[in-house]
């Protein structure tokens, strides 16, 4: 029964026809495609991403895309296609862990802040606003460079950066709902605060949280790529899109476009996928608000 | 013994521009099974007074002084938890806007069962569900509608559901805050009839908050009239309507639309005062056509006269 409460709205959402639904479907397709890549990487990758994939004499120069190497090789002879496949694991791990963590911290704080207002709200808002006032990438770089380069540390850095995004949206919604008649009615029926917050206000903010998750993850992918670019997510020779982008900078100047094109394309596509999910969902919500 | 006795209640709102007294020295008595209507303009403090009874004042509102004695216990001295247990079980509340007063994501039955279980009024969910559908039947909605979501019901039906939720645990007091303002006239009449019949059946007392004195006249045993945070007149409904003592009550009755009477509607000159800076003496004197010397300087005290209470210098 609990599970069906979560699944039913999802199923009905996917069945429903509405303008902008293609965005949700396209976004889901892209994200699921990359998720499949990440899961199946060991089975479909033609080479080890951190081993020479060509004879030594060819390894001195990047090899262009061919049947053996669909995305070419880089200047140390690693297969780019295999690196893209394995790189998706790092990106998805970092971004999803970070987003879930931001959500787990930002949502409860937003609920409390919005419901109680007053002093608690004031203090939390000041803390969140001061985090929010940093440009995301700068703050992430600062935190990640203190913690040292590793995917988990990058996830922590991103999580801190995106907590205020969830907090602000949930606080705003909670504030609005707390003043709504139905919450007043619940209070008049003698509901404890805990029940009002968790069983009535939280589910009513869920759609907004989903939208923020989509758009936030899209943004986090770009920030993650930025971190990797500065070598703060993985260390050589491990594969990661942003890191490969950095490694390919010189190649591009020398005419070897493929070592930078494919990582860039992957970053862009995955960010686009999450953004489409967020936009597609918000389109649906905006429509519902108009109807009511 | 009276079910509810409000004694010298003062309620303040702390605003950025200072303290605002929204209810001043209010005293009221409500007997078992009695229907009291509190009538007044927007901002007169009638809703604030009513919401203070079950402890539903939201900050920055707070009770500054006075007592609210309900069934012999002072509600103002109770802990939040004690008050919470009284709400819904002993005091029910119905709000103005039925369209937004139910959680849109949950079925009606789900919400009713939750409330019943919260008050431990049933031993099992199944029993609670039976209670819920019986409560729906009692307000004229088929019991199988427990499976409906709020958006599947009309405004009038939703108000009936709200009433069912408010009375399903058999409260002794029902507070209805403008329950029909958002509904059309036909539905309004049926909701009022429903409240009246529930009151008779269950023997509960009702406090109706309304700006419509004609409506109050039809249904109430007693009427209290509020103006600028004060109760200016209180008494048996027919007497208050037939022979209003306070000039404000009189003006309020005169400004009720009547299809068969005058062509232009009477309106009270001037505007209600700013409660941050109320007029000296009687708060109604700047708009009162009977005002005389003492009205400007001295505050009138509530005086008992012929079974009524009135705060006006004309009578004391």
Interface predicted TM-score (ipTM) over 0.95: no
Find, in chain A, the residue whose alpha carbon is nearest to that of B93. Answer: A188
Centre a 10 Å sphere on the Cβ of residue A223 and count the other Cβ atoms it contains: 24
Give the model's confidence band at A219: pLDDT under 50 very low, under 70 low, under 90 confident, else very high: very high
pLDDT at A292 > cutoff 50? no
pLDDT at B210 > cutoff 80? yes
Contacts of A4 in chain B (CB under 8 A): none
Nearest by CB: B88 against A118, A181, A190:
A190
Asked if the C-beta of A126 comes within 8 angstroms of chain B's C-beta atoms, the answer is no
Asked if the C-beta of B242 comes within 8 angstroms of chain A's C-beta atoms, the answer is no
Question: B165 and A117: CB-CB below 8 Å?
Answer: no
pLDDT in tens, B74-97: 999 899 899 999 998 999 999 988
Question: B115 and A117: CB-CB below 8 Å?
Answer: no
Contacts of A190 in chain B (CB under 8 A): 84-89, 115, 118-119
With CA atoms as reference, report the closest residue to A265 among A70, A49, A4.
A70
- Mean pLDDT to the nearest integer, A67-78: 89
pTM of the model as a whole: 0.82
Mutate to test the interface with A, among B80, B101, B149, B163 (most CBs of A within 10 A): B101
Query: Hey, which of A108-112, A178-182, A236-240 has the most confident mean pLDDT?
Result: A108-112
Nearest by CB: A189 against B59, B104, B115:
B115
pLDDT of residue A101: 96
pLDDT of residue B73: 93
- Looking at CA atoms only, how far is residue A170 from chain B in angstroms? 17
pLDDT of residue B177: 93
User: Chain-wide mean pLDDT for chain A?
Assistant: 90
pLDDT in tens, A183-193: 999 999 989 99
pLDDT in tens, B28-73: 999 999 999 999 988 899 999 999 999 998 878 899 999 999 999 9
Asked if the C-beta of B300 comes within 8 angstroms of chain A's C-beta atoms, the answer is no
Find, in chain A, the residue whose alpha carbon is nearest to that of B162. Answer: A185
pLDDT at A32 > cutoff 80? yes
pLDDT of residue B262: 63
In chain A, what percentage of residues exceed pLDDT 90?
Answer: 64
Distance CA B60, CA A235 (A): 56
- Mean pLDDT to the nearest integer, B265-271: 83
- The Cβ-side half-sphere exposure at A80, using a 13 Å CA radius, reads 30
Question: B95 and A184: CB-CB below 8 Å?
Answer: yes
Please give the full DSSP string across B105-127, using - where no structure is assigned.
TS-HHHHHHHHHHHTT--SSHHH
Q: Are strands B18-30 and B4-15 parallel, antiparallel or unpaired?
A: antiparallel
Asked if the C-beta of B209 comes within 8 angstroms of chain A's C-beta atoms, the answer is no
- Mean pLDDT to the nearest integer, A158-180: 93
pLDDT in tens, A225-253: 999 999 999 988 899 999 999 988 888 88
- Mean pLDDT to the nearest integer, B21-32: 93
Q: Domain ranges in chain A?
A: 33-291
On whether the A33-291 domain is CATH 3.20.20.70, my answer is no
pLDDT at A30 > cutoff 50? yes
pLDDT of residue B269: 84
pLDDT of residue A19: 80
Distance CA B37, CA A162 (A): 52
Helix, strand, coil percentages for chain A (3-state, nearest 5): 75, 0, 25
Mutate to test the interface with B, among A185, A196, A197 (most CBs of B within 10 A): A185
Find, in chain A, the residue whose alpha carbon is nearest to that of B114. Answer: A191
pLDDT at B104 > cutoff 80? yes
Question: B102 and A185: CB-CB below 8 Å?
Answer: yes
pLDDT at A289 > cutoff 60? no
- Mean pLDDT to the nearest integer, B94-113: 89
Q: Is A168 helix (H, G, I), strand (E, B) or coil?
A: helix
Asked if the C-beta of B92 comes within 8 angstroms of chain A's C-beta atoms, the answer is yes
Segment among A65-74, A90-99, A147-156 with least mean pLDDT: A65-74
Distance of CA B216 to the CA centre of its chain: 11
pLDDT at B263 > cutoff 80? no
Distance CA B243, CA B292 (A): 21
């Amino acid at each position: 029964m609990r599970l069906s409460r979560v699944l039913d709205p999802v199923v009905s959402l996917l069945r429903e026809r509405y303008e902008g639904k293609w965005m949700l479907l396209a976004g889901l397709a892209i994200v699921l495609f990359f998720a499949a890549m990440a899961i199946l990487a060991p089975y479909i990758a033609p080479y080890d991403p951190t081993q020479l994939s060509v004879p030594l004499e060819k390894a001195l120069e990047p090899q262009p895309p061919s049947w053996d190497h669909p995305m070419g090789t880089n200047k140390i002879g690693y297969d780019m296609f295999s690196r893209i496949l394995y790189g998706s694991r790092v990106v998805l791990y970092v971004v999803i862990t970070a987003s879930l963590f931001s959500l787990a911290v930002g949502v409860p704080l937003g609920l409390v802040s919005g419901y109680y207002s007053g002093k608690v709200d004031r203090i939390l808002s000041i803390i969140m606003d001061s985090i929010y006032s940093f440009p995301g990438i700068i703050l992430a770089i600062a935190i990640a460079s203190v913690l040292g380069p590793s995917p988990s540390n990058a996830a922590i850095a991103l999580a801190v950066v995106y907590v205020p995004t969830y907090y602000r949206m949930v606080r705003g919604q909670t504030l609005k709902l707390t003043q709504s008649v139905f919450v007043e009615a619940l209070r008049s029926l003698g509901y404890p605060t805990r029940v009002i917050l968790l069983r009535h206000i939280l589910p009513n903010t869920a759609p907004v949280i989903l939208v923020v998750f989509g758009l936030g993850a899209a943004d986090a992918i770009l920030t993650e790529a930025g971190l990797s670019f500065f070598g703060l997510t993985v260390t050589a020779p491990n594969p990661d899109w942003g890191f490969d982008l950095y490694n390919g900078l010189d190649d591009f100047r020398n005419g070897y476009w493929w070592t930078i094109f494919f990582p860039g394309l992957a970053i862009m596509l995955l960010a686009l996928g999450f953004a489409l999910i967020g936009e597609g969902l918000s389109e649906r919500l905006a429509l519902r608000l108009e109807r009511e | 013994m009276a079910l509810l006795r409000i004694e010298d209640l003062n309620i303040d709102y702390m605003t950025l521009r200072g303290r605002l007294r929204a209810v001043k020295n209010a005293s009221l008595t409500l007997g078992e099974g009695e229907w009291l209507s509190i009538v007044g303009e927007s901002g007169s403090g009638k809703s604030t007074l009513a919401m203070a009874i079950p402890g539903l004042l939201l900050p920055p509102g707070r009770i500054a002084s006075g007592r609210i004695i309900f069934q012999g216990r002072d509600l103002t001295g109770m802990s939040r938890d004690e008050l919470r247990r009284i709400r819904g079980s002993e005091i029910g509340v119905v709000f103005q806007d039925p369209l937004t007063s139910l959680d849109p994501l949950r079925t009606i039955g789900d919400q009713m069962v939750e409330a019943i279980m919260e008050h431990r009024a049933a031993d099992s969910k199944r029993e609670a569900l039976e209670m819920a559908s019986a409560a729906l039947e009692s307000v004229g909605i088929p019991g199988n509608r427990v499976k409906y979501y709020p958006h599947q019901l009309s405004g009038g039906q939703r108000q009936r559901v709200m009433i069912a939720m408010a009375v399903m645990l058999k409260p002794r007091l029902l507070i209805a805050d403008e329950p029909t303002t958002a509904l059309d006239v036909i539905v309004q009449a049926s909701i009022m009839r429903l409240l009246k019949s529930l009151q008779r059946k269950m023997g509960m007392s009702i406090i109706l908050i309304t700006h419509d004195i004609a409506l109050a006249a039809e249904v109430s045993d007693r009427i209290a009239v509020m103006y600028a945070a004060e109760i200016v007149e209180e008494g048996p409904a027919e007497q208050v309507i037939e022979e209003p003592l306070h000039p404000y009550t009189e003006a309020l009755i005169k400004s009720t639309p009547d299809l068969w009477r005058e062509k232009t509607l009477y309106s009270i000159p001037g505007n209600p005062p700013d409660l941050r800076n109320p007029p000296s003496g009687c708060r109604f004197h700047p708009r009162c056509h009977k005002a005389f010397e003492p009205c400007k300087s001295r505050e009138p005290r509530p005086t008992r006269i012929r079974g009524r209470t009135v705060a006006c210098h004309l009578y004391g």
